[in-house]
Amino acid sequence: MHPSSSVADSLPLISAPAARRLFLGAQGLLDDPGRRATAASLQKLIEALGFVQVDTINVVARAHDLTLFSRLDGYRPEQLRKLLEDKRSLF
């Protein structure tokens, strides 16, 4: 790279729709919305996301429940509680 060029000059450009698909796909929001929420699918999703912030504030719903509900059909908060407290298979 030439000393006067920046790193940004060497990066490929992508369209806004392609960037949107890339971002949504990385967050699991382009996956099949009909995936059923099971202990296994819930654990796999959280491991793929890397983490889910467990939120103690309950306005509409707790933030971690909204995150998981938007990605797994039929997700119920007690499923996460079981993975966290009973099985201790996360975090």
pTM confidence score: 0.51
Between residues 17 and 6, the one the model is more confident about: 17
Tokens of 56: 């103690």
- Number of domain units in the chain: 1
Is there a domain that residue 33 lies in? Answer: yes
Q: Tell me the residue range of the domain where 24 lies.
A: 7-86
Residue entry with tokens 């499923």: 79
pLDDT tens digits, 18-46:
999 999 998 888 888 788 889 999 899 88
What is the residue whose two structure tokens read 């079981």? Answer: 82
Three-state SS string over the chain comes to: CCCCCCHHHHCCCCCHHHHHHHHHHHCCCCCCCCCECCHHHHHHHHHHHCCCCCCCCCCCCCHHHHHHHCCCECCCHHHHHHHHHHCCCCC
Residue 91 lies in a domain: no
